[in-house]
Amino acid sequence: MRIRRRKNAAEILCQKYADFVVEEPNKLKGKWKEKLGYDKLYAEFGSGKGRFVTNKALNQPEVLYVGVEREPEVLIKTAEKAATKLPKNLRLINTDVEFITDAFAKGEVDRLFLNFSDPWPKRRHAKRRLTFCHFLDRYKQILAPGAEIHFKTDNRGLFEFSLNEFSACGWTMKNIRLDYQPEEDSDDIMTEYELKFREMGQPIYRLEAFYPNYEEKV
């Protein structure tokens, strides 16, 4: 996705959309649910333009949703949707996933969504993929015992890479789909990318994963 740079995008986020954007997430680390009054916290890393996380928050008002996006220009799109639809249980963070343990404490996240992450197709960029083992180790530090990662992509190469990474790093996978079709009664939400790819007839790859040996986490 080509990003149109916007002057002072980070400042706009914090000033215009302060009801949703958490400027200093480290101050809520370990206290998200307590301070905001929720029993469950679900996060989407790489939340893009926000169709998924905004609508999930609207559909599940009992769950605190947190969208994490490193590009402020992109996160503004989510903030605009939030300002229109006004989900009270949605918060947004402008940060890189590399620093996610600064925002969340051990066991604080009850579910993690990775939707259509950048595939970084060049081999030399493999370490930037959000399912690279380095990032999976980060997720172990913030996920609650038994918490799942729900991963979707249109990129077969990224999916095969992710299968290998989850397995090599000790995660258990289930519900692996090479042509994912949501059930009629599913509460799944399609992202902007998923809508586009389905219109083009491209298969969607999906899996769920959890880390079985919680006490062994670093």
3-state SS class at 36: helix
Q: Is 118 a catalytic residue?
A: yes
Which long-range CB contacts under 8 A does 9-12 form with residues at least 24 apart? Answer: 9/72, 9/73, 9/76, 10/72, 10/94, 12/72, 12/76
Residue of 134, 131, 136, 140 lying closest to 162 (CA atoms): 131
**Strands in the chain per DSSP E:** 40-45, 63-69, 90-94, 109-115, 143-153, 172-177, 205-210
Query: CA of 129: how far to CAs of 16, 70, 151, in Å?
Result: 31, 14, 12
Structure tokens at 145: 């015992």
From 102, 118, 154, 185, active-site residue: 118
Structure tokens at 74: 């992109």
Structure tokens at 190: 């399609």
Using an 8 Å Cβ cutoff, are 141 and 114 in contact?
Answer: no
Residue 153 CA to residue 206 CA, distance in Å, equals 7
Active site residues: 118
